[in-house]
Structure 1
């Protein structure tokens, strides 16, 4: 059914010539109605079993992946250590003259007089392995021959051959300090300055970028719910009844507030296991040992990051609610939903340019285009390339654009709430709004 007349929640004016005054708008109940909408939308969402399944699925999957990676890394490291320390009976020839006979003997090796005979012994199964060290191991590879023990077990031949040469080279140097320096095992301690003050370095980059992580996680978890917030009532054919008692603005704002509250719940569910695991089970789960004292929490970038997060959330929420108001079904809305969500990942394709040349034309376009501005601006804010003037412009743009889009979403929902069979014509809603009314 397609209804061309928007549903209204306030009382209609009295007919022309009537002595009865128009009924007053229910402004005193707006706050009560808003609270009712927020409570209803939030309650019905968190009471759904599929909501908790979807919410808990992410931390559970992450926990499983982390556990598998930990087990895999532990197994791989143990296998590599075992291969390095494996006792292999081998013969070798040394054209480099670097390997002492006593060191090779301690590792299970003996020198071979004839390379061809040594290789033949390996083929015949008389010797486990044969290593042929060239005169210049830097430019010429070591020839390693061994009896087949399986794909993974065969790796111990390379490990033993390499370990023998490395140990011999360290012994030739004769100085642990020179050996460490030659291996690149040196540390530096850098300090940079900005405007005469010590800059925070990488420690000042991480805290503002946390807002970008929250933005992505929130949109991934809530985007489908944002889209369906207005579609669900349309598909259930109940919007006409709802709008007889509720103003569309109150309904949409209530849904947006409820979505924000649901997002907070999901973020807490998502972060709580990580925090608990890090605080109480860090050693058992092999969490990286983060030095939190190295983080620099500068108020300016943190405030800008929080405002960019709220502004970006407002813009995308308004866009998704507007799409739901225009489209008759979730299937129809999905054709726009996919490309729209892809826009938030496009700035990452120019990450190198954002970091190295933030004032290039393409970065400037991404900084000020409303759908790419949140991600681009949060990246630039984290890396310290977003000036106060630019951050003010982008934040103002996001909040103004978000407010306008939400206003448009309310207008579209007013006209498209009971248009169940076809996509709403946006331009047609403005023409109908200005057209003269009559029976």
Structure 2
């Protein structure tokens, strides 16, 4: 292991010198920001369009047998009451009337009938929007405001939770542990490709025998894993440094001329739980090392990065599986499936971080989970070293389990 420092330095600097490494750091955040921005703009445009449609004037008649429609509301929309359903439908067909609404006596069993003149998809939709507005406004005139608030769920709730005799805000304690969950997701997403190619590059270039003449397989594999960990730390600092500097610039008045939301109340409300933070940091480090070791072992077993990539998708899918089982975590920790995926190697990092964020991870469970992560990391490193040793003489084919465990 006397060349370990050399391997770490070489692998780290080789990655830092590549422009693609720095581009990859900001790729995912930028993509998420663009998607959020497009979604926000689209939502605004949709709301404006709906408002425009609801305010658009058109001729219509309405027949109400249910007795819920207020004639004054109909008049506000410049509509008219019809006593002849067939005649109104005829006018719509002929084009002299834009729309006609027939509201049956029993709204629970029968359907409201809407007849309209075609004006294109978006313009035709305003018929339904105006009908909804008439019915809603009519209902508001005959129902008490408190009942309206209950039905529409527009009432406000001020919730106070107590824990151990003191006021407790779970969300404020979830922010920091949740940040480590986000960090783990981003770092693994950004570095998974580099983890995979860290060993396949040497095999594809046919230089592994030359490397192993001066460096042992154990030193090389451990050095690559440590260098990947260092690169992960670099990515974390690169992503969060602008956010931290921006926050201090805001609170110090450096960006007073920029129209930014004041996040100081939000920051001040964050509560730090030392135990929860310590668990999050430990799980993050142990989980990252374990996943890195497994992926490095996978890369060592495959002849090319392309073939290894086909198998890595299963590792990433298993790693992200807890996100697809979110309901089980929200219900509580007294669930066998939650405990299984909390201790299963590939699902445990995110499962433990998620439970730690939700406050459902007991200290003894965290200790067991972290201990298993460390054990699985050691097993993965051992496998990666052994696979890499035999992979050097297995150009063009996979390292079989029979070969791996039968040779001494």
Match of 2:33 in 1: 63
- Following superposition of structure 1 onto structure 2, how do residues 405-424 of structure 1 map, counting pairs within 5 Å? 405-424=380-399
Secondary structure of the corresponding residue to residue 99 of structure 1:
coil
Tell me which of 294, 319, 327 is aligned to 2:302: 327
Match of 1:376 in 2: 351
Match of 2:135 in 1: 165
Structure-2 separation of matches of 1:101 and 1:415: 86
Match of 2:219 in 1: 250
Structure-1 separation of matches of 2:241 and 2:48: 32
Higher relative contact order (CA 8 A, sep 6+): 1
Moved more, 76-85 or 38-47: 38-47
Matched, 1:297 2:272: yes
Match of 1:21 in 2: none
Structure-2 separation of matches of 1:152 and 1:272: 46
In structure 2, the CA distance between the partners of 1:371 and 1:414, relative to structure 1 (3 Å rule), is same
Structure-1 separation of matches of 2:158 and 2:49: 34
Residues 104 and 110 of structure 1 are in contact (CA less than 8 Å); yes or no, is this contact kept in structure 2?
yes
Residues 325 and 413 of structure 1 are in contact (CA less than 8 Å); yes or no, is this contact kept in structure 2?
yes
Match of 2:21 in 1: 51
Structure-1 separation of matches of 2:157 and 2:76: 37
Matched, 1:92 2:62: yes
RMSD: 3.3
Structure-1 separation of matches of 2:203 and 2:333: 44
Moved more, 420-429 or 216-225: 420-429
Cα offset for 1:226?
0.9
TM-score by length of 2: 0.85
Structure-2 separation of matches of 1:156 and 1:291: 40
Residues 229 and 289 of structure 2 are in contact (CA less than 8 Å); yes or no, is this contact kept in structure 1?
no
Structure-2 separation of matches of 1:135 and 1:291: 52
Long gaps (5+) in structure 2: none
Structure-2 separation of matches of 1:110 and 1:55: 62
**Over residues 146-202 of structure 1, what are the superposed CA-to-partner deviations in whole Å (9 max), with x where a residue is unaligned?**
2111111111111112212221222233x5455334432112222333444443333
Match of 2:170 in 1: 201
Tell me which of 154, 157, 168 is aligned to 1:185: 154
- Following superposition of structure 1 onto structure 2, how do residues 215-226 of structure 1 map, counting pairs within 5 Å? 215-226=184-195
Residues 308 and 378 of structure 1 are in contact (CA less than 8 Å); yes or no, is this contact kept in structure 2?
yes
Q: How many residue pairs are counted as aligned between the two chains?
A: 401
- Following superposition of structure 1 onto structure 2, how do residues 91-110 of structure 1 map, counting pairs within 5 Å? 91-110=61-80
Match of 1:214 in 2: 183
Match of 1:17 in 2: none
Secondary structure of the corresponding residue to residue 186 of structure 1:
coil
Structure-2 separation of matches of 1:340 and 1:305: 21
In structure 2, the CA distance between the partners of 1:116 and 1:272, relative to structure 1 (3 Å rule), is farther
In structure 2, the CA distance between the partners of 1:351 and 1:287, relative to structure 1 (3 Å rule), is farther
Q: Which has the higher helix share?
A: 2
In structure 2, the CA distance between the partners of 1:164 and 1:425, relative to structure 1 (3 Å rule), is closer
Cα offset for 1:48?
2.5
Secondary structure of the corresponding residue to residue 96 of structure 2:
coil
Cα offset for 1:124?
0.9
